[in-house]
Amino acid sequence: MITFLSGGTGTPKLIRGMRQVLDDDQISVVVNTGEDIWVSGNHISPDLDTVMYLFSGVLDTDTWWGLRGDTFTTHEMLKDLSPEEFIAIGDRDRAVHIARADLLRRGCSLTEATVRLCRLFGVRASVLPMTDARVTTRVKTSAGSIHFQEFWVKNRGAGEVMGVEWYPQDPPPASREVLDAIRECEAVVIGPSNPITSILPILRCRGVREALSEQYVVGISPFIGDAPVSGPAGALMTAEGYPPNSIGTAGVYSDLLDLFIQDVRDTVNLPGTVRLDTLMVDEQKSRALAAAVLRLIRKRGGKNEGGI
Amino acid sequence: MITFLSGGTGTPKLIRGMRQVLDDDQISVVVNTGEDIWVSGNHISPDLDTVMYLFSGVLDTDTWWGLRGDTFTTHEMLKDLSPEEFIAIGDRDRAVHIARADLLRRGCSLTEATVRLCRLFGVRASVLPMTDARVTTRVKTSAGSIHFQEFWVKNRGAGEVMGVEWYPQDPPPASREVLDAIRECEAVVIGPSNPITSILPILRCRGVREALSEQYVVGISPFIGDAPVSGPAGALMTAEGYPPNSIGTAGVYSDLLDLFIQDVRDTVNLPGTVRLDTLMVDEQKSRALAAAVLRLIRKRGGKNEGGI
């Protein structure tokens, strides 16, 4: 069993490759839920959906969100009727949000709701929201503190980023299932996701750092040089006081890493890391990286070999 | 100005005809909201939607609910994911429900939300929910008390009907706009809707009977013989102790009527009524009935002439 810590784009690309070399039932994914948002009465969990759709084979792998071939009939009408409709949601994607919201309103935990939906989608991997508590990642901008989705989707990442904060402030407890998945696996892979808004929300969950400290942890930098492969990681890293590169990424994960992987092209030199091609432009590249990561995990001598 | 009291099928057919002989801005419609239901976080108001879509020219006049040519992508997926999805809701129809729910969640009254939506749909008539309070028509069956929509849509009207009840029990106040529309019009038309679940919920609203007692009121029976033209009115009338025919209908409206119209085919004899062709099988028939009703209203000598 390999357990991933995942956001919504970079790590799912690696998981896509891992599915080619490992059976789905040997993969657990702890998923960031800090970007979850209730819109128009329904529960959107962007990263959970991407991971669930990926395992179900229905993910739109051009955009890395939503269902392949979905239509947007309700959204097209609703954006003229309601100012709340700022996220493009497909019609079938919306059905999933509504179903999850129904389960949550009926008292299911997010973990239980995810198990139910994954079963309906034929997912055999273990997809685990990082916490059952509601926690929201907010971006502090010159115009005030706004929901991450509002910053990234509505405002398209525009405006000066002054930092990140979580609401509520107190770290939520990781679910029991998450802690079990971290403890009872061969290794944990922190995929090439945004360190600040995808991975840090998971690391903040109570119990996660402790569990990781006793586990073999592989990290993969989402940066090549001073730019992330995708998404707003650069501005967010800078605002939080980390250099927007592999050194900063290693700083966020601090003492958790046993093995750190940088891209072969990365101009930032960090001693003790392993260099691999991390630019997963297609499924073959994903598979190659995943196979290399799995080989490194299985060849390891012990804790900290190859670490930084 | 003519003010209608309306449910979701029979009276809208008459209004469709009235639109051919009277400008939309000369029509007010007080609409039953007892069948409103929150499903999956969104607010469905079947009768309000039908009337709004009718005036907007987008109503599906084959089914008399929903938008013409709508798709059902979300519904088709959701009915496999959630037991709550028991009503077929079109994708564009759902956008309207979501937009209304957003407005209500932001503190708009149902009247204000309806004004906003009607403006967006280009509706010039005055479409008025009977009350801004939340009131639900429930059907007492041998299996317990259930929401009208559950009885009629989910269970397809099956099972023994033992009566009707409203929740909350205390009659809600009619909105100020409803009372004004009843007081400040030429006449009120109680259309051929279900007396028990479409019209009685309106008559129960505090202030409505008093306002109607000072107004010229025309009623149109929804029965021809012992059968309603459409819908579950028969069983509901019987359960509430009224004969399921025009006599029973007149009984429900009791002393409010100045003029009562029965179908020319109706085998039930009620003295003092006017006989017209009320079977509105197409737009021409609707227009003919509406024109005849308007002529009767405008030829009236005074209160109670032609009444029962």
In angstroms, the separation between the Cα of residue A63 and the nearest Cα of chain B is: 20
- Looking at this predicted complex, what is its ipTM? 0.87
Residues in chain B: 308
In angstroms, the separation between the Cα of residue B73 and the nearest Cα of chain A is: 6
Q: Are strands B274-276 and B259-263 parallel, antiparallel or unpaired?
A: parallel
CB-CB under 8 Å, B40 with A98: yes
CA dihedral A24, A26, A27, A28 (to 10 degrees): 120
Q: Is the dihedral of CA B258, B262, B268, B269 positive or negative?
A: positive
CB-CB under 8 Å, A75 with B74: no
Q: Are strands A259-263 and A217-220 parallel, antiparallel or unpaired?
A: parallel
Q: Which of B73, B78, B99 sits opposite A78 (nearest CB)?
A: B99
Are the CB atoms for A256 and A212 separated by under 8 Å? yes
Q: Are strands B2-6 and B27-31 parallel, antiparallel or unpaired?
A: parallel
As beta bridge partners, residue A44 has: A37
Q: Which of A42, A78, A101 sits opposite B95 (nearest CB)?
A: A78
Are the CB atoms for B2 and B186 separated by under 8 Å? yes
Residue type, A125: A
CB-CB under 8 Å, A85 with B96: no
User: pTM value?
Assistant: 0.90
Query: Which tokens sit at A251?
Result: 């700083």
Q: What is the pLDDT along chain A (308 residues), one digit of tens a residue?
A: 999 999 999 999 999 999 999 999 999 999 999 999 998 888 999 999 999 999 999 999 999 999 999 999 999 999 999 888 888 999 999 999 999 999 999 999 999 999 999 999 999 999 999 999 999 999 999 889 989 888 888 888 888 889 999 999 999 999 999 999 999 999 999 999 999 999 999 999 999 999 999 999 999 999 998 888 877 888 899 999 999 999 999 999 988 999 999 999 999 999 999 999 999 999 999 999 999 999 999 998 544 444 45
pLDDT in tens, B37-57: 998 888 999 999 999 999 999
In angstroms, the separation between the Cα of residue A71 and the nearest Cα of chain B is: 8
Contacts of A77 (CB under 8 A, 6+ apart): B91, B92, B95, B96
> Which runs of E-coded beta strand occur in B110-220?
126-129, 136-141, 144-147, 161-167, 187-190, 217-220
Question: Omega into A243 within 30° of 0, i.e. cis?
Answer: no
φ, ψ of residue A27 in degrees (nearest 5): -125, 130
pLDDT computed for residue A301 by the predictor:
53
Query: Which tokens sit at B271?
Result: 């003295």
Distance CA B222, CA B228 (A): 6
Give which of B58, B77, B93, B108 to mutate to test A binding, by max A Cβ within 10 Å: B77
Q: What is the 3-state secondary structure (H, E, C) of chain A?
A: CEEEEECCCHHHHHHHHHHHHCCHHHEEEEECCCCCEEECCEEECHHHHHHHHHHHCCECCCCCCCECCCCCHHHHHHHHHCCCCCCCCCHHHHHHHHHHHHHHHCCCCHHHHHHHHHHHCCCCCEEEECCCCCCEEEEEECCEEEEHHHHHHHCCCCCCEEEEEEECCCCCECCHHHHHHHHCCCEEEECCCCHHHHHHHHHHCECHHHHHHCCCEEEECCEECCEECCCCHHHHHHHCCCCCCHHHHHHHHHHHCCEEEEECCCCCCCCCCEEECCCCCCHHHHHHHHHHHHHHHHHCCCCCCCCC
Give the C-alpha distances (Å, rounded to integers) separating A177 from A16, A54, A134, B235: 22, 21, 16, 52
Residue type, A222: P
Q: Is the dihedral of CA A57, A62, A65, A66 positive or negative?
A: negative
Distance CA B231, CA B261 (A): 19
pLDDT computed for residue B304 by the predictor:
43
CB-CB under 8 Å, A105 with B98: no
B178 closest CA partner among B304, B5, B1: B5
Distance CA B176, CA B184 (A): 12
CB-CB under 8 Å, B40 with A101: yes
Question: Omega into A222 within 30° of 0, i.e. cis?
Answer: no
Which chain B residues are closer than 8 Å to A42 by Cβ? 40-41
Distance CA A163, CA A240 (A): 5
Are the CB atoms for B68 and B88 separated by under 8 Å? no
φ, ψ of residue A255 in degrees (nearest 5): -90, 15
Q: Cα(first)–Cα(last) distance of chain A, in Å?
A: 24
CB-CB under 8 Å, A92 with B73: yes
Q: Which of B78, B81, B102 sits opposite A82 (nearest CB)?
A: B102
pLDDT computed for residue A303 by the predictor:
46
Q: Is B162 helix (H, G, I), strand (E, B) or coil?
A: strand
> Which runs of E-coded beta strand occur in chain B?
2-6, 27-31, 37-39, 42-44, 126-129, 136-141, 144-147, 161-167, 187-190, 217-220, 223-224, 227-228, 259-263, 274-276
Q: Is B276 helix (H, G, I), strand (E, B) or coil?
A: strand
**Closest chain A residue to the Cα of B85, Cα to Cα:** A99
Distance CA B279, CA A243 (A): 77
> For B96, what's the count of Cα atoms within 13 Å in the CB-facing half-sphere?
26
Which chain B residues are closer than 8 Å to A121 by Cβ? none
Q: Which of A41, A91, A103 sits opposite B42 (nearest CB)?
A: A41
Which chain A residues are closer than 8 Å to B71 by Cβ? 71, 73, 91
Are the CB atoms for A83 and A45 separated by under 8 Å? no
Low-confidence ranges of chain B (pLDDT < 50): 302-307
Which chain A residues are closer than 8 Å to B80 by Cβ? 120
Are the CB atoms for B44 and B36 separated by under 8 Å? yes
